[in-house]
Each structure stands twice: as C-alpha cells, then as structure tokens.
Amino acid sequence: MSKINVIGLGYIGLPTALMFASHGVEVVGTDYNAELVNTLRAGKTTFDEKGLDELFANALNCGIEFSTEYISTDMYIVAVPTPYDKKSKKIDPCYVVAAVKKVMEVCPKGATVVLESTVSPGTMDRFVRPIIEENGFVIGQDINLVHAPERIIPGNMVYELEHNSRTIGADDKAIGEKVKELYKSFCQGEIVVTDIRTAEMTKVVENTYRDINIAFANELAKICRSDNMDVYEIIRIANKHPRVNILTPGPGVGGHCISVDPWFLVGDYPGLANIILAARKINDSMPEFVLKRISAIMREHGITDPAKVGIYGMTYKENVDDIRESPTMQMLECMQKHLAHGVKVYDPYVTKDIVENQYHDFDKFLNDVEIVVIMVGHDEIKAADEKLKGKLILDTRNVCKLEGVYKL
C-alpha cells in the first residue's frame, strides 16, 4: 500500500492520522485550513487531548506529512464534519460532498475511499455514490467505497482509538476485510465487517440510545423539581435495583455526536422517530430550564443585576476544550434572546475570548460574582469547595459537596 491520505484534521481526523502513522502506516494528513496545517508542520497540536502530544511526537518521528493538497494514492480516509440543517433536521453533507469531489480529482483507479464521518442512513447512496459515478468511475471496479464510522470521545480519544470496537461497512466483504486489516494496525477492539447501510445506521443508533437515556434523567429532574424532590437521591435509590441504571441529569447535551446524530433519524424518518424527537426536545430544553433556575435563585435572594451571575464552564464535557454544541453556549445564546447581558463566564480550558465578559482567572471570576452556576464538572471546580464558600451555587452537575447548594 502507498500512503494513506486522511482528509480533515479536526477532532477525529488528526488523532486517526497520528495513530496510523505511529503504527507503521505512511500517512499524509490533508486539511483546507492552511493555518491549521502550518501549525501541525511546526510541530504543534491544534487542540488539547490526553495523550495527543505524545502520539503526535511519535507520528512525526515516523514521518507523517501534512498538506492542504489531496494526493494520488490508493486509500483515502475522509473525516470531515457532518452538521445538520436545523430547520429540516436532515444531515448537511456539504463537507463530505466537497471532500469526495476533491478525492475524485486525484485518485487512481482501484482506490478505496473510506468515510469515517458519522452520517445518516442512506447518505452514501444519496450523496457519495453519485459523485463517484459522475466522475466516470464504476463503484466496485474502479473505486471501492467503505464506511468506518469513528467511535471515540474527547477526553479519552487516544485510548478509545486503540481499544474501542469498530464497524466496517463495505459493498464487497473482501474490501471490508482489507480495510479491517488496516485498522488492526492499531485497533485492539473487535472489528465487525458488514454492509454500508448497516454501518451508517449502527453509529447513529448508538448515539441516539445514549441521548434517549439522558433525556429520561433530565425529564425526571424536571418532574422532581416541580414537586420539590431530590432527583439525585431518587436516582441513587432506584439504581440499587439490579436492572435499573438511570443516568445523572445535567444542563443539556453537547458535543458533535449525541446532540447531532439523533436529528438525522428525526429528519429522515418523520412520523416514525417519535421517542427520538421527544428526547431531543427534552435535552435541548435543559439550558433554558437552567436559566429559569438561575432566575428563581436571583429572585429568592433579591439579586436583580445579571452581572452578579457567573457561569462556570463553557465546554460540552469535563476536562476538554471542545465547546461544540455545549449547553453553556446554547444557554448564552438563549440569554441574548431574553436580553440578559452582563453575565460573566469562565472556563479553564477555553483560553481564547469567544464570548462577552469571559474571564481567564478563576479567582478574579469568583471575586466578581455572587452566584456561581456550575455547568461543567472540570477537576478544578471539584476541588474548589473552599473557594466557593460564601457564594450562592447552582450545581447542574452535582459535583459540589458544600451544604446549601442549589441543584437542578
């Protein structure tokens, strides 16, 4: 095999490219963002992730290359974003389409195109196959098409790349087995070979299952709040049943997987994805629910100035720098609609100014607010009970151990 061309060097593509390179595969990583490519060429990673710097150093030693150009080779791995249209709820395949079109300009006959991006069932049939055929290639003879959806989560990407199971969807089982052998260069988990449509559906179903279970916990939190019950104590006791495992409620669902993928099924199967739609609505409603809790606490203590409120945490989960679809960003957008200005924001993992009144010093942030709303359970806030004494605290993650803390 000649070099693999990994297309898209974001949260999924970069770790994947580095992992292949570190395990003896020749890799060229391609991204249209010249600044990103130049940063990687300069020997620096582009986001924080446990173990990523070490993996990057190994990949550099093994000869990985970075470019804004697509190369002619016999294996492409496409790992570009797959957003959804917020009106239709259907997948927006524009990045996938653009990447595959560029691949078609340089790829030789016999090449295999592997799509790692998560897509809705049927995306390969509706959008990818036509591009290949329009360029004069016969799928299965001139070009092999494979779907190998990623299964990793920020904060533990490197470990999960090596240990999680994977699904390889291919038209031809022999091609699927060939791609399986490639991924086995680093993947220690079970690798299942199936057809493309099944691989598409399986990945979306995995994240939808998690979204529905989170929604149940969040709806339970709303029910308990309406009747002044402790949802955490109720869940703790209920989970003692051997067949019950209720998740912990929170301020919403973020990230580019759980908060996005279920919409693919809602958009593609209207009238059928009813529980999925209800779950999405519940989880999307949580940031506004938190806002109502903040307002109630302000009224209870006679606080009228939003500038006295401090939002702790901007990322979608703890100990990462990923803010995509985060509940905090959703809540701040909702605040703008309600003309609430002056709220202060702090996150130790977000080093660039991206919102108004953003702080970069934890102590100064605490000094300037009366109410602290914990939106993300970073390790920093879990160890900050002494600093939080004397503050009004709304803990949406159930991580603060002080007495008198407000909960969801």
Is 166:187 a contact under the CB 8 Å cutoff?
A: yes
Tokens of 28: 């060229």
Tokens of 5: 């061309």
Tokens of 295: 């307002």
Q: What is the pLDDT of residue 338?
A: 61
**Greatest CA separation for the chain:** 72
Is 263:280 a contact under the CB 8 Å cutoff?
A: yes
User: By C-alpha distance, which of 287, 310, 281, 283 is closest to 298?
Assistant: 310
Q: What is the pLDDT of residue 364?
A: 98
Is 204:276 a contact under the CB 8 Å cutoff?
A: no
Tokens of 213: 């279970």
Is 114:147 a contact under the CB 8 Å cutoff?
A: yes
Count of other CB atoms within 10 angstroms of residue 163: 12
225: left (phi over 0), alpha (psi -120 to 50) or beta: alpha
SS3 291: helix
Rounded distance between C-alpha atoms, residue 199 and residue 93, angstroms: 17
Q: What is the pLDDT of residue 339?
A: 52
Amino acid sitting at position 5: N
Q: What is the pLDDT of residue 40?
A: 97
Cα→Cα distances 81→96, 99, 118, Å = 7, 10, 8
DSSP line for 334-376: HHHHTT----EEE-TT--S--STTEES-HHHHHHT-SEEEE-S
* Sheet order of strands, 406-407 included: 358-359, 344-346, 309-312, 371-374, 392-395, 406-407
pTM beyond 0.85: yes
User: What angle (nearest 5°) sits at the alpha carbon of residue 177, between those of residues 77 and 74?
Assistant: 40
User: By C-alpha distance, which of 79, 92, 131, 80 is closest to 268?
Assistant: 92
Tokens of 405: 């803390």
Beta strands at 65-67 and 75-78: parallel, antiparallel or unpaired: unpaired
Is 367:388 a contact under the CB 8 Å cutoff?
A: no
Is 1:144 a contact under the CB 8 Å cutoff?
A: no
Query: Over the range 315-344, which residues count as b (16 or more CB within 10 Å of their CB) and which as e?
Result: bbbbbbbbbbbbbbbbbbeebeeeeeeebb
**Topology at the third CATH level for domain 4-194:** Rossmann fold (3.40.50)
Rounded distance between C-alpha atoms, residue 98 and residue 394, angstroms: 44
The structural domains of the chain, with segments of one domain joined by +, span 4-194, 230-407
Is 204:261 a contact under the CB 8 Å cutoff?
A: yes
SS3 31: coil
**Fold match between domain 4-194 and domain 230-407:** yes
DSSP H or E run through 199: helix 196-226
Q: What is the pLDDT of residue 86?
A: 80
SS3 53: helix
| Residues annotated as part of the active site | 203, 257
Rounded distance between C-alpha atoms, residue 402 and residue 254, angstroms: 27
Architecture per CATH, 230-407: 3-Layer(aba) Sandwich (3.40)
SS3 309: strand
pLDDT by residue, tens only, the chain of 408 residues:
579 999 999 999 999 999 999 999 999 999 999 999 999 999 999 998 889 999 999 999 999 999 999 999 999 999 999 988 888 878 899 999 999 999 999 999 999 999 999 999 999 999 999 999 999 999 999 999 999 999 888 888 999 999 999 999 999 999 999 999 999 999 999 999 999 999 999 999 999 999 999 999 999 999 999 999 999 999 999 999 999 999 999 999 998 889 999 999 999 999 999 999 999 999 999 999 999 999 999 999 999 999 999 999 999 999 999 999 999 999 998 887 665 678 999 999 999 999 999 999 999 999 999 999 999 999 999 999 999 999 999 999 999 999 999 999
User: By C-alpha distance, which of 266, 171, 283 is closest to 220?
Assistant: 283
Phi first, then psi, for residue 68 (nearest 5°) are -95, -5
